[in-house]
Amino acid sequence: MSNSIFNIGNELQLIINEIIESGGEVNEETENALIIKEGELQNKSQSYGYLIKSMEYDVNTIDSEINRLEGLKRVRNNTIKRLKTVLSDSMQQFEVEELKTATLKINFRKSQTVEILDEDLIPKEFKTVKVTTSISKAEIKKAIKNGELVVGADLIDHKNIQIK
C-alpha cells in the first residue's frame, strides 16, 4: 500500500520534528523511518524537496531576523556611547564628580590603562610571540589538479544534492 503525498509529508514532518527536538540526533528507529523505499521514491523525494526548501526558507528568515536585531543592538549601543560621552563631558565641564537622585547615582570611576608608545623599546620579557599555521585548501586542490602529489592530502569527489 502506497502512502499519499500528504501522508508521506505529514509522516516526514513528524520525523523531522523528532530529529529537531533531539538536537539533530537520529536514532535507529528514526533512521529506518527515513529510508526511502523504491516504490515511494517519486512521492517521497518531492516531499523531501518541499520540506528542505521550507526549512531553508525558515533558516533564511531566522538569519534576516538575527541581522535585523543585530542592527537594532548596534544602534542602541552607539546611542548609549554618545549619551555617556555627552553626560561625561558635561559633568567634567562643570567639574561635577557625582550626581545623585532618588533612583540613580552617576559618578566617575577611576581606572588605569597602559599605552604603548613604541613597541620596539618594550623589553623582551613583556612580549609574547604567537605563531599560527594555516593550510590553503584552494592551493592544495590546484596542485593536485595539476598532477602534483601532495602528501597528507587527497582530492575527494562528492555528489551534492541540488533542489530548485
**pTM score over 0.85:** no
pLDDT at 5 over 70: no
pLDDT at 111 over 50: yes
- 164 DSSP 8-state letter: -
Task: Tell which wins on pLDDT, 158 or 63.
Answer: 63
Beta-carbon contacts of 51 under 8 Å, excluding residues fewer than 6 positions away, are 9, 12, 13, 16
- 2 DSSP 8-state letter: P
Confidence band of 9 (pLDDT split at 50, 70, 90): low
> H-type helices in 94-157, by residue range?
137-145
Q: What single-letter amino acid sits at 11?
A: E
For residue range 62-94, what is the model confidence (pLDDT) as tens digits? 999 999 999 999 999 999 999 999 999 999 999
C-alpha distances in Å from residue 8, one per residue of 4, 120, 125: 6, 70, 68
Identify which of 84, 86, 77 has the alpha carbon closest to the alpha carbon of residue 109. Answer: 84
pLDDT at 1 over 50: no
For residue range 27-43, what is the model confidence (pLDDT) as tens digits? 888 777 777 654 566 77
